[in-house]
Structure 1
Amino acid sequence: MMISVQQEAISKEAVDAWHGKWETLRETIHAAHERRDGSAQQFMIEGIGHFEQFIVDSSVTDAPFSVQSEYELMPINGMERLQFIKARPGQYACYRQLDELYKETKKRCARLRIKK
């Protein structure tokens, strides 16, 4: 069963604030990868949590985030990609993939705002 998006939760302001926090974290993760000191993983875990929390907070549900759930807000293949990222959060490829998920989710919010 599809968990639908909560319209008021994906206002442009709410999405910009959420994405802004990711932009700050993204820069931190990028710098950590350049240092190659292993610190990127902890920031990635924070970024993954921030992503999942937004999906839940923007959906019509009281349940915690679940990979078994289908969220209207989740981009194409989003759940599979998220599981790939969560399996190896310290890898640079996973950081790039998480960044893509954030971008696609932001675009999806814009499309869903227009649609409803």
Structure 2
Amino acid sequence: MIEAHKEKISKEAVDEWFAIWETQERAIHEAHHSRDKAVKALMEQAIVHYEQFIQNASNTTDALQVSETYEVLPINGMERLQFVKTRPGQYACYRQLDELFIETKKRCARLRLKK
């Protein structure tokens, strides 16, 4: 298991990361609502943002590995992320990515209390 880096999951760091997602989420939601084809590109940007946080919050400099377990990821997080990456233009993938962000934020809070 790749453990979380305590300083990288501080409340301030997580809040800053999540604020960027909230901005992205509004744009993605609006694109889905208006059936805009740009939703795929917006989702791909959000996926990169999510992956960068997981990598930065973990005690590793390597790119995310599907075969690894990351302490900051929620239950089945890697499988769910792979699902999102397969079809980023789908509404179900947007909802799943939103849940991953929310659950990861909560998991970071739990890890801060634990460590």
User: Scaled by the length of structure 1, what TM-score is found?
Assistant: 0.97
Partner of 1:30: 29
SS, match of residue 89 in structure 2: coil
Provide the rounded CA distance (Å) in 2 between the counterparts of 1:45 and 1:51: 10
Aligned alpha-carbon RMSD (Å): 0.6
Range with greater deviation from structure 2 (33-42 or 12-21): 33-42
Distance apart, 1:37 and its partner CA: 2.0
Q: Give the aligned partner of residue 70 of structure 1.
A: 69
Residue 112 of structure 1 aligns with an amino acid whose one-letter code is: L
Matches of residues 21-100 of structure 1 in structure 2 within 5 Å?
21-100=20-99
Shift of 1:35: 1.2
Unaligned 5+ segments in structure 2 are: none
1:57-92: CA deviation from partner (whole Å, max 9, x where unpaired): 011011112222210001001111111100010000
Identity of aligned residues (%): 60
- Which stretches of structure 1, 4 residues or more, deviate above 6 A after TM superposition? none
Asked if 1:18 is matched to 2:24, the reply is no
State the alpha-carbon separation in 2 of the partners of residues 12 and 3 from structure 1. 20
- Give TM-score scaled by structure 2 length: 0.98
Secondary structure at the aligned position of 1:62 is classed as: coil
Q: What residue identity is the alignment partner of 2:19?
A: G
Output the amino acid matched with 2:94.
Y
**What letter is aligned with 2:20?**
K
CA distance in 2, matches of 1:54, 1:69: 16
How many residues were matched structurally? 115
